[in-house]
Amino acid sequence: ATKTADQSGTGVIVTSDGLIVTYRKAIIENDSEYKVFLFNGNYYDAKLIGVDGFSDLAFLKIDVPNLTAISFGNSSDVRPGKKLVAIGNSFGEYQNRYAAGLLSNIDKTFNLGGMTVSSSEKLEGVIEDDFSSKKEYLGGPVIGYSGDLIGIVGSLTINGQEKYFQIPSNIARKTMDLILQNGADTRPFLGAYYIPITKEYSITHGLKRDRGALIYSSSGKQGLAIIAGSPAEEAGLRINDIVVSVNNQGVNLDNPLSNVISQYKKGEKIELTVDRNGEEMKILVQL
């Protein structure tokens, strides 16, 4: 017997020829057929173009010309306290639903790996809001009062609890460009787990640096900080190394290690500046 499941989610049109972005948990990725309902009541067959494992954004395409696409805001410029509007849909009738609230926090150290340590292959840094109802908006846009896209609503299940957040619009734009040009399979792979160093972490753990990425495992085992057979292992990266910069681009809370690595392509060579036991050294890595 064939097992069937239905799922509804929200997305937003990002190009006038029918490219739609949503969050991967808002769709069923495998062996699925997709239909997209527009605000005017029309609906169309859609094709899944790609799912990006770094940002967990998914892209669908409908063959409809001359659509109105949302304009992207600059998520790097937004600050806590900004007024926001979330747009979802009431799934029975496929009509828009809205919520208004505030941008409550920019969590610069939250990693989509969903663990206590950050993954070099997952986006770091999300936007949080104070909307009371969030489930109905998964995959949908959050906009400023000017109508510009600020983020896409996403969620992760962590310790049995659902945590909601927004993927910043700047990440959505970059991911859209990547999907359209090359596809998500060109994303690089480093293979390291780390802690983003904050001033607080530096003080409480007696570090001499207050920024960078500390290669880390809570067990203290190299094999749990560096993935076996990964480019990080082959390059000789070690647990407790602090990655200070990548190709002279500083690693900090505004430029986390995973986000900096994501700018490169699979197979490219990069130079890491690493602090190992207080001494700086250069490590070449082929991603």
103-116: pLDDT as tens digits? 999 999 999 999 99
pLDDT value at residue 129: 95
pLDDT value at residue 39: 81
**Structure token pair of residue 256:** 């986390």
The identity of residue 65, as a single letter, is P
* Residues 30/192, Cβ–Cβ less than 8 Å: no
d(CA 9, CA 206): 46
Give the bridge partners for 199, in sequence order: none
pLDDT value at residue 286: 97
pLDDT value at residue 40: 81
Percent of the chain with pLDDT over 90: 82
- Beta strand 43-52 pairing with 34-37: antiparallel
pLDDT above 60 for 1: no
pLDDT above 60 for 2: no
Give the pLDDT confidence of 11-47 residue by residue, as tens digits. Answer: 999 999 999 999 999 998 888 899 998 888 888 999 9
pLDDT above 70 for 4: no
d(CA 248, CA 192): 19
Distance (Å) of CA 171 to CA 9, 58, 145, 150, 263: 20, 12, 20, 10, 11
pLDDT above 90 for 8: no
Q: What is this structure's pTM?
A: 0.93
Tokens 């250069």 found at? 282
Reported residue count of the chain is 287
Integer-rounded Cα radius of gyration of the chain? 20
Percent of the chain with pLDDT over 70: 96
- pLDDT higher for 245 or 94? 245
pLDDT value at residue 92: 65
Q: Which of 166, 282, 170, 187 lies closest to 235, judged by CA?
A: 282
Give the pLDDT confidence of 231-278 residue by residue, as tens digits. Answer: 999 999 999 999 999 999 999 999 999 999 999 999 999 999 999 999
pLDDT above 60 for 3: no
pLDDT value at residue 271: 98
Give the pLDDT confidence of 185-203 residue by residue, as tens digits. Answer: 789 999 999 999 999 999 9
pLDDT above 80 for 133: no
Mean pLDDT across the chain, nearest whole number? 93
pLDDT value at residue 98: 92
- Beta strand 118-119 pairing with 95-111: unpaired
pLDDT value at residue 29: 87
- Beta strand 34-37 pairing with 19-23: unpaired
Give the pLDDT confidence of 136-156 residue by residue, as tens digits. Answer: 899 999 999 999 999 999 999
Helix (H) or strand (E) holding 204: helix 199-204
